[in-house]
Structure 1
Amino acid sequence: MPRTKTWNFYDYGTYHIVKNDYRQNNGVQYYFTGDGSIATGWQSINNDLVYFDGSTYHKVIALSDLGSNLSSTQKYFFESVIPGAIAGWHEYGVIPSITIAQAIIESGWGQSYLSTAAHNLFGIKGTYNGNSITLPTQEYNGYQYVTIYAAFRAYDNNSESIQDHGAFLKYNSRYNNLLGDSNYVSVANKIRLDGYATDPAYSTSLISMVQTYGLNILDALQ
């Protein structure tokens, strides 16, 4: 559930507490809820869902910023992954646009069997807290795609998957070159060359996904 702080904003003209309205300070927008508290997390505002940072309280993004014709599945997916992707940028140095683009591609907007059965949004192999699920998968061996069976990490929820994705990249030394890089094109190329995926078109797919939905708006967050 969205959290609110007890901080209030008084209108300079009326001296009344601002409620259900935005106010701007130094070019940053904040929102004050019906009881006058400053908003954090997701808020439903004027038929749109808007996300406010839990630490700085400023407006981060509205779902409408990502497209005017999003399906209900896409809206739900963005709502479920954006907060974790932002947290991963702060904690692990992995830019949100690539985290989200990977999650979309790897999980098919959260609809793949792996994501519905094991909450594994990124196709990360191995085990998580001793839990895994074994499934067939296509791998490119340098000449052609072949089917193999592999163990994939299993999570209790999508939030665990988002968190583990950032940790996976940070604590595997081969991905050190992309940590803190805020250029999504650069990160997309690095992550494939570092061996995350065998598909030679993986970088192109990530870049296309970021550009289609304007996900790089999230990469400006510090």
Structure 2
Amino acid sequence: MVKRKKTYQKYHKKKSLSLLQIGCFALLLGFLLVAALGTWSYQTYQREVKQADDARQAFIEAIVPVSQDLYQETGILPSITISQAILESDWGNSELAANYNNLFGIKAGPDQESVSLPTLEFENNEWITITADFRVYESWDESIRDHANTLVYGTTWNKDQYRALLDATDYIGQAKGLQQGGYATDPDYATKIIDLIRTHQLYQYD
């Protein structure tokens, strides 16, 4: 009787040890799985970041040449043109830019090819959505040149509307000149332009 009890105790001890080993193995397997998933997620995140960075750099490089050419003609710094294009078109991804080559949200005049789209405007200290008619262009270069003409020749009601921008010789002064000329309704427009130029070192193209 005593002998059987000892045998049972030995069997129970071995069985308990086996369950403990299984538990440790399962815990280790879970840890390795979590680590592997974490590594995969991080690598996926890194790839997505690189793809986004590459796409942004490609957008910049696509509009640098025409921006630099226009600087020779108008005095508008490439960093200003590029940063405005980034801000206004979301790196060329907005519907207006991607489908209609309008990088700057330029409104259409009479008898100009146009498309009606919703847009945000800052009025009475709040953002509101309106629908407006925007110009349609054949290419980004055409859009950039039309944008430069607007800044150089002003509007039909004020040909010197952007004189402060044209008189400035650095990107800070030109950004503030845009704000002073009422280019955008956003009260933080100049700050956003300056931040984009500094963050992405767009001054290197000036």
Say whether the fold is shared (TM-score over 0.5).
Answer: yes
Inter-partner Cα distance in structure 2 for 1:148 and 1:186: 30
Name 1:197's counterpart in structure 2: 184
The alpha carbon displacement at 1:73 in A equals: 1.2
* 1:99 corresponds to 2:81: yes
* Deviation for aligned residue 1:125: 1.2
Task: Map 1:136-175 onto structure 2 (within 5 A).
Answer: 136-172=118-154, 173-175=160-162
Amino acid at match of 1:85: S
CA distance in 2: counterparts of 1:129 and 1:141, whole angstroms: 28
Matched, 1:117 2:104: no
Give the number of the structure with larger relative contact order, counting CA–CA contacts within 8 Å between residues 6 or more apart: 2
Could you list the per-position Cα deviations for residues 54-110 of structure 1 after superposition, in whole angstroms to 9, with x for gaps in the alignment? xxxxxxxxxxxxxx9972311220121000110111112211111000000100110
What amino acid does structure 1 have at the position aligned with 2:114? S
Structure ranking higher in strand proportion: 1
Aligned: 1:210 with 2:192: no
Which runs of 5 or more residues in structure 1 are unaligned? 1-67
After TM superposition, give the deviation of residue 208 of structure 1 in Å.
0.4
In structure 1, C-alpha distance between the alignment counterparts of 2:124 and 2:69, rounded to whole Å:
35
Which 4+ stretches in 1 moved above 3 angstroms?
none
Q: Does 1:131 align with 2:113?
A: yes
Q: Considering only aligned residues, what root-mean-square deviation do their CA atoms show, in Å?
A: 1.9
Amino acid in structure 2 at the alignment position of 1:206:
I
Partners of 1:71 and 1:200 lie apart in 2 by 28
Q: Comparing both structures, which one devotes a greater share of its residues to helix?
A: 2
Query: Match of 1:179, SS?
Result: helix
Bigger radius of gyration among the two:
2
- Choose 159-168 or 125-134, whichever is displaced more: 125-134
Which TM-score applies when normalising by structure 2?
Answer: 0.69
Code of the residue aligned with 2:185 in structure 1: it is: T
> 1:85·1:96 contact (CA, 8 Å) conserved in 2?
yes
